[in-house]
Amino acid sequence: MKINDLELYLVAIGRSDTANPTRCLLVRIATATGVEGWGEAGVNWRVDELAARREALLAVLAGRSIYDIEELHTIEALAPAPLRSAVEMAMWDVLGRVLRQPLCNLLGGYYRRRVPVSIRLSGHKPGRTAQIARELADQGFHTQTIAVSGRPEEDLRTLASIREMAGERVELRCDGMGRYDLETARELAAGMEAYDLQFFLDPLNTRELYPVASLGRQTSVPLAVWQAIGSPTDVLTAVRYNAAPFIMVDPEQVGGIVPARACAAIAAAAGVVPVLASRPSMGIAAAAMLHLAAATAAFSTSNEFASRQLRDTVLADAPEITDGMIAVPQAPGLGVTVDRAKVERYQAA
């Protein structure tokens, strides 16, 4: 069975509540028999270039077997990595629907049927953040990621307030978002040592791994890297430098599910904990993440999950978060159905 058609849609997340909505590219791939699959990724494209890009992509993909997923990672025309990830995701979705199997089964079967997620908090004053953290803990979100404000003293007050209000039942992560120089990050990490963090993510304003390794030798707070991981080779480099005990694996950033699994395998073999990470999506990529986490034993800790993942979606029926976990969809392919009316509603101008 071969690819017969391709459609591209540019949609915007959060149009009603933010001046700078996140844009996502939706990719629909179809076979001659009418079986379709969907993929999604964040790309910085304009609406007026979609037609030309569709023609270029269709010229590359038309006639290819839906089974040749590994081959996608050798096609230069599918650069950059987010585009390759979206096309690969759509191919997996088609393949699952043709074989009448959920994606998880195609990846080796269910290791877990519910995926634990970490909720992210940002943009509030310390006291309000702590109150939200306690409320989320009451709802079952026991792993929470605090995005830094860029003001170290305020960040430490936030952590102190959360520990005071939510206690030890919350496992805390802090995302430095690549904001700090080495000296500031070292001082902030020293202050964090009192709050028992699971890890301090991307503390430095560099994508180089050696400076992160240097910081790691100067603090007892475990570090994690996300921005620097763009391929399995980057995971090998992080392991060689002993950069961090946690590696964030973002399928969009590394180019798809196949390289994401390779990243997880390399990290786990080296005794480093891989954590599945995803950016805001319209629900399609979120569904793919659930299958990937369910079928990959190495993703054993709570996965980074953007807070609006299941709030604004193009899905007819989005999965629900219960007690800080999400059940893996059971239907064929990604297990979710795209609502065309919602796609039209969220299309970017």
Structure tokens at 259: 């390289």
Structure tokens at 161: 């307030």
Bridge-based pairing state of the strands 143-147 and 171-175 = parallel
Q: How many angstroms separate the CA atoms of 249 and 299, rounded?
A: 9
**Residues 6 or more apart whose Cβ sits within 8 Å of residue 51:** none
**Burial call 58-82: b when 16+ CB within 10 Å, e when fewer:** bebbeebebeebeebeeeeebeebb
- C-alpha 341 chain-centroid distance: 25
Q: Which residues of the chain have pLDDT under 70?
A: 14-20, 306-311
What pLDDT is recorded for position 44?
84
Domain ranges of the chain: 3-100+340-346, 106-327
What pLDDT is recorded for position 20?
61
**Residues 6 or more apart whose Cβ sits within 8 Å of residue 13:** 21, 22, 23, 24, 280, 281, 282, 308, 312, 346
| Residue pair 314/346 in contact by the 8 Å Cβ criterion | yes
Collapsed DSSP state (helix, strand, coil) of residue 198: coil
What pLDDT is recorded for position 106?
97
CATH second-level architecture of 3-100+340-346?
2-Layer Sandwich (3.30)
Give the CATH superfamily of 106-327.
Enolase-like C-terminal domain (3.20.20.120)
User: pTM of the full predicted structure?
Assistant: 0.93
What pLDDT is recorded for position 78?
94
User: What is Dmax (Cα atoms) for the chain?
Assistant: 60
What pLDDT is recorded for position 311?
67
The string of pLDDT tens digits covering residues 60-117 is: 999 999 999 999 999 999 999 999 999 999 999 999 999 999 999 999 999 999 999 9
Collapsed DSSP state (helix, strand, coil) of residue 318: coil
Please count the other Cβ atoms lying within 10 Å of the Cβ belonging to residue 191: 16
What pLDDT is recorded for position 339?
95
